[in-house]
Amino acid sequence: MESLEEIQSILRKFNEMGYADTNVKYEDNGKNGKVLTRQDGEWKYEDEFYGGEPYSGNETLWYRDKDVFRCVYWGKVVEGINFS
């Protein structure tokens, strides 16, 4: 089994290679959402996102084609929050 530290590190790396990179584009998933896929060696990452207010999605991480991490999220932006 992969260590927690290794999973945290690779998730951070995929976040930097994914939505934190302004040049990366999500693709339509054919289900009224968007999907972002990335790969680094034997690691694969997918973030499937359904936008709007509220928004939801899930992140999945595979190592050697075996799923090792999954996160399901939901949220909304609170009025008056400044993200700049």
Dump pLDDT digits (tens) for 16-75: 887 777 888 889 999 999 999 999 999 999 999 998 888 999 999 999 999 999 999 999
| Cα angle: 13, vertex 14, 17; to 5 degrees | 90
Is 1's pLDDT higher than 70? no
Q: What is the pLDDT of residue 66?
A: 96
Q: What is the pLDDT of residue 25?
A: 84
Q: What is the pLDDT of residue 70?
A: 96
Give the containing element (helix H, strand E) for 68. Answer: strand 66-75
Could you give the CA distance from residue 8 to residue 31 in angstroms, rounded to a whole number?
A: 29
Q: What is the pLDDT of residue 19?
A: 73
